[in-house]
Amino acid sequence: IHTMVRTRDILWIGTVGGLVRFDIRSRTFRRFRISNSDYRLNHVTALERLSDDRLLVGTRYNGLLQYSISKETFLPVALGGGEYSDGYVRSIYKDIDGLFWLGFDYQGLLAFRYNKGTCALLEHEKRLEGIDCKRIAVFLQSRDKSFWVGSNGNGLFRFDPAAGRYTAYRHAHQDPRSISQNSILSIFEDRSGNIWIGTYAGGINRIIRDQKRFEVIKNQPGNRNSLSNSTVFSVYEDSNE
């Protein structure tokens, strides 16, 4: 399982074997394949809700697709160039202004608007052109409207739109205050505004902004009360304070 998104009483799940529909009321599953001839093309890596009847579906080998819930059909989304048509879509994110962001492995970031059933590609999104990385894993816009971009191997980036300034966070062996790993798997903002970063083999990091450092929580061998594993794919905050 790579990703999940909900529409009404249906939970949509992206898996290696296709798109899975889970009916919360009847507690039944149903799988939808993108291709019956090539198993690889069924690899769903990212999901985002477009409307009550449409989903954006990111894939590993088939680029970006649009799924019609009522018609049960997949259609390719034209992204304006051959390099994106079969690109590996690692993440899909809808920002505060309704702009959709795609994070590709090797093609970087792409932004577009969705309107009345069509996707209007933005030729160049200048706000994030300073991010020096093409392998994008995850994306978040925090409540202060900052953009946080996690890369696959090149660290974490933050763009402050008010100041027009970029900040790159990378692991430094000689600096214990730095981020613990440069491969970012998840970014989460809790109800208090804290930013949590899940990494590959580097545990989970919490940014201490006023001290310009990271608090790191990792697995500690032999300590049963530590994090069970130092690879953190997702972060979730429950209802308890």
pLDDT in tens, 54-65: 999 999 999 999
Going by C-beta distance under 8 Å and a sequence separation of 6 or more, which residues neighbour residue 218? 180, 202, 203, 204, 226, 227, 230
Task: State how far the Cα of 108 lies from the Cα of 120, in Å rounded to an integer.
Answer: 18
Whether the predicted pLDDT of 125 surpasses 80: no
Report d(CA 124, CA 224) in Å as an integer. 49
Say whether pLDDT at 103 is over 70. Answer: yes
**If pLDDT is split at 50, 70 and 90, which confidence band does 77 have?**
confident
String of DSSP letters for 143-200: TTS-EEEEEBSS-EEEEETTTTEEEEE---TT-TTS-S-SBEEEEEE-TTS-EEEEES
172 compared with 240, residue with greater pLDDT: 172
Q: Is the pLDDT of residue 12 over 60?
A: yes
pLDDT in tens, 171-215: 999 999 999 999 999 999 999 999 999 999 999 999 987 778 999
**pTM, rounded to two decimals:** 0.87
Q: What is the pLDDT of residue 150?
A: 95
